[in-house]
Structure 1
Amino acid sequence: MTTAAPALPQVTDLLPHRYPMLLVDRVLDMVPGSSIRTVKAVTLGEPWYAHLPAGAPLDYPRSLLVESWGQSAGLLASAMADTPQGQVMLFGSVADAVFHLPVHPGDVLEHRVRISRALADSVVFEGTSHRGEETVMTVSSMVMAFRPATLLRPEAPATDPVRKADR
């Protein structure tokens, strides 16, 4: 008798991002606290391609490639068993992101992210992005930190009309 594998998380269950800034489509596999593989399909229907003039290069923006990979790292960090409750995950830094090949509409990317170090309130990731067998990007280090939500947006005094309307 075989035991069923645990269900993979839905991207929207772990990330607050939504269209147009949700840049991960699906989790392929995940080992919580260790690694994740995700998929991002690049399409011509994405808003950053909407107003390009005819004949303009269709290279996917590198900043969005890093963001998509970082969202995959965020999925892994959010699924860690010891993630503190009431914490907000913040992007800290990225070092040595190397872009090997351009990415274009029609490409299906596979992000491979590993945790290289986990501290009490920070996680360091490393990994790659692939188009089939080709490596399109390598990330040597991305740091994410967890901070208490209450410190990032403390309760305002009741007399503050801006914060009152914000609630």
Structure 2
Amino acid sequence: MSAAVQAAFDAPPLPRVNDLLPHRYPMLLVDRVEELVRGTSIRAVKAITLNEPWYEGLAADAPLDYPPALLIESWGQSAGLLASATAPAPDGQVMLFGSVADAQFHLPVLPGDVIEHRVRVSRSLGDSVIFEGSSHRGADTVMTVSRMVMAFRPGEVLTTDEPVRPPAGRDREATA
């Protein structure tokens, strides 16, 4: 058996999307992980189909471009898979999308396209991670993302009924 074949057998199995993300239909927007280098990068795939709810009820002559916000969400879910596969959130921690910067859409994405998201860790800051990367249809780049920030925060802080107060010294009167 060649070394490459043996390495494939010895490699840990790729994670299942459902095991790492809490999302479910219709908002689970990643179909499978193709490649994972824990702590470094991921390649994940999303197949675009006309069966998705956002295409329901469209007029016959309506454009079929996949919504850019959903392309960003799908790419972000791929980043979330990388973060979760690298170091699962400690008990009680919730993964939150923080921001995206310099996302550029180069080509439309249409039903029938299979999109490959390529996500790399740019920087890890303890409870926050910065990602960068792109999305591709075959050899064509359909989107690039310069920076996406995700953070892990305690779930109980996010579910309280009390209003969120700014840190001391940062209230409206101090900044007005």
TM-score (norm 1): 0.89
Q: TM-score, normalised by structure 2?
A: 0.85
SS at match of 2:69: helix
Runs of 4+, deviation exceeding 6 Å: none
Q: 1:90 aligns with which of 93, 96, 117?
A: 96
Residues 34-49 of structure 1 aligned to structure 2 (within 5 Å): 34-49=40-55
Change (3 A) 1:72 1:35: same
Size of the alignment, in residue pairs? Answer: 156
What amino acid maps onto 1:21 in structure 2?
Answer: M
Distance 1:72 1:98 in 2: 17
Residue in 1 that maps onto 2:173: none
Using the TM superposition, give the Cα deviation of residue 85 of structure 1 relative to its aligned residue in structure 2, in angstroms.
3.3
1:56 aligns to what SS in structure 2? coil
- What SS does the aligned partner of 1:79 have? helix
1:129 aligns with 2:135: yes
Q: 2:158 aligned with 1:152, yes or no? A: yes
Alignment of 1:31-110 (within 5 A): 31-81=37-87, 83-110=89-116
CA distance in 1, matches of 2:148, 2:98: 7
Q: Distance in 1 between matches of 2:151 and 2:48?
A: 28
- The Cα offsets for residues 77-103 of structure 1, whole Å up to 9 and x where unpaired, read as 111237433210000000000000000
Residue deviations 1:29-87, cap 9 Å, x none?
A: 10111100000000011000011001110000000000000000000111123743321
CA contact (8 A) 2:33 2:44 kept: yes
What residue identity is the alignment partner of 1:16?
P
- Indicate if the aligned counterparts of 2:42 and 2:119 stay in contact, CA closer than 8 A: yes
Q: Which residue is 2:167 aligned to?
A: none
Considering only aligned residues, what root-mean-square deviation do their CA atoms show, in Å? 1.6
Paired with 2:88 and 2:63, the residues of 1 have a C-alpha distance of: 44
- Work out the CA distance in 2 between the residues paired with 1:116 and 1:126: 6
Q: Any stretches of 5+ residues in structure 2 without a counterpart?
A: 163-176
